[in-house]
Amino acid sequence: MLEKTVLYFKLAAYILNIIREELGRATRTAWVHRRARWLGPPAPPSRDRNIVIIGASFAGNRVAQLLTTCLPPNSPYKVVVIEPNSHFQFSWVLPRLCVVEEHENKAFIPYGGNVHDNPAGVLRWVKDRVVDVTEAGVQLQESGETIQYDILVIATGSGVEKGLPSRVNATDKREGMELMRNVQRAIKTANTVLVVGGGAAGVEVATDAQNLYPSKRVILVHSRDAVMNRFGEGLQKAALEGLQSLGVEVILQDRLIQDASRSGSILLKSGREIQCDLVVDCTGQQPSSGILSKLSPASISTSGHLQVKPTLQLADGKFPNVYACGDVADTKTPNPNARSAMRQASIVADNVLLTATGRKPQYKYENSWSDGVIKLTLGLTKSVTHYGDGKSELLFPGKETDEALMAAMCWSRMGQKPFDDPYMGAESDGSIIKAIA
């Protein structure tokens, strides 16, 4: 009981701290803008030094947002963002929108709502992929251009080979939406769906599929002895109950070794053969660190993450001007997520600002238990939010009414009107929660 009370206090302190940090930033940004008005913006050609950011998801977009708003108006630096995707891909809703139809548009948020070229010349946005990093520059895949950097931020995150439901693996929004519809159709037409992986994505896909199609057989296979094994026992139990109450069959401590689902069956390591016509793989996230394999192979850990100092500079002392943050960085975060990625992004931005004004990086990243908060959906209308500090857990069961979950909030946070995308024209916004409730 006492531990839970302490956890409530810690949670309140965490929320207050976020508010304090945001207010501090807003004040600082207002001051930079006021100074820009007093002094007048510099001529764009004067910004001839580059802060290059590779990747513009939670981490990279946040670094870009903070730097473009906080760089002093007379700074010689500009921010160059390199990102291959046409839109910000909102990972949180991918499992849901691979099951539920008619909301695909919502997972792809237009860029440009909260990172602006203001004052003029502070931002260059490049839609391309970095294929190599050298001591002085980054090389682009499509244009072949090499962009020099004075300061480099690597925010390339993580990926999966097989794509959806975990990652889109397409750079264009329309193509990504079509891939999503393919998964929806496959689930809709399958008789037996085998979901592999009992982390958040696997649990969410399995519960959504079973909830939406109650007459289907949905099986979840997980190699560990509990689903959501990286979290506390309370969440593990709640997730298992959520799965089983909908009718999902859960197989633990086993793994898929042969996928012949196209011919109607799969084989598990235990020797068990299951008749099934669709496998949905929710495993295999890997850090996207390959672009540094020539420049600093020693920085890549055995897990594929980039090793960093507490300042989030690369651990390799030869490159003090190279930073890494988000899923690609080895920060020992127990459950890397968007919150930890964005907190790391703030540390990187603060240190880059120090460097860009001739000072030494001094801000250090520390893991916080509170970053590990997770909201797990358990079918279309139920969720559980979990806070845990390793000693105690708080669980808050919730009722969900929005099929697209937090997509609208993310559009707003990205500075966009939900779900208005000129790239798409008018799109339908179906709703089936109301129909099944």
Ligand X SMILES: Cc1cc2nc3c(=O)[nH]c(=O)nc-3n(C[C@H](O)[C@H](O)[C@H](O)COP(=O)(O)OP(=O)(O)OC[C@H]3O[C@@H](n4cnc5c(N)ncnc54)[C@H](O)[C@@H]3O)c2cc1C
Point out which residues bind ligand X (CB under 6 A).
54-60, 82-85, 91-92, 94-95, 129-130, 155-158, 166-167, 200-201, 288, 291, 326-327, 336-339, 341
Give me the least distance between CB of 166 and ligand X, in Å please: 4
Give me the least distance between CB of 180 and ligand X, in Å please: 12
Give me the least distance between CB of 291 and ligand X, in Å please: 5
C-beta closer to ligand X: residue 58 or 77? 58
Quickly count helices (H) and strands (E) in the chain. Answer: 9, 24
How far apart are alpha carbons 297 and 299 in whole angstroms? 5
C-beta closer to ligand X: residue 195 or 200? 200
Give me the least distance between CB of 10 and ligand X, in Å please: 18
C-beta closer to ligand X: residue 95 or 361? 95
How far apart are alpha carbons 260 and 38 in whole angstroms? 68
How far apart are alpha carbons 437 and 433 in whole angstroms? 6
C-beta closer to ligand X: residue 36 or 238? 238
C-beta closer to ligand X: residue 243 or 374? 374
For residue 244, give every residue at least 6 positions away whose Cβ sits within 8 Å of its Cβ, in sequence order, or none.
250
C-beta closer to ligand X: residue 208 or 327? 327
Give me the least distance between CB of 39 and ligand X, in Å please: 33
Backbone φ, ψ for residue 279 (5° rounding): -110, 130
Which amino acid is residue 12, in one-letter code? A
Tokens 């009370």 appear where?
Answer: 5
How far apart are alpha carbons 350 and 67 in whole angstroms? 8
Give me the least distance between CB of 94 and ligand X, in Å please: 5
Give me the least distance between CB of 237 and ligand X, in Å please: 20
Token pair, residue 252, equals 């633990």
Token pair, residue 313, equals 């500079």
Count Cβ atoms below 10 Å from residue 317 Cβ, excluding itself.
8
C-beta closer to ligand X: residue 239 or 274? 239
Backbone φ, ψ for residue 41 (5° rounding): -70, 145
Residue pair 239/206 in contact (Cβ under 8 Å)? The answer is no
C-beta closer to ligand X: residue 55 or 232? 55
Give me the least distance between CB of 353 and ligand X, in Å please: 19
Count Cβ atoms below 10 Å from residue 72 Cβ, excluding itself.
15
How far apart are alpha carbons 129 and 143 in whole angstroms? 9
How far apart are alpha carbons 349 and 355 in whole angstroms? 10
CA dihedral 177, 228, 288, 411 (to 10 degrees): 40
Residue pair 110/80 in contact (Cβ under 8 Å)? The answer is no
Tokens 């990504």 appear where?
Answer: 176
Give me the least distance between CB of 249 and ligand X, in Å please: 22
C-beta closer to ligand X: residue 36 or 300? 300
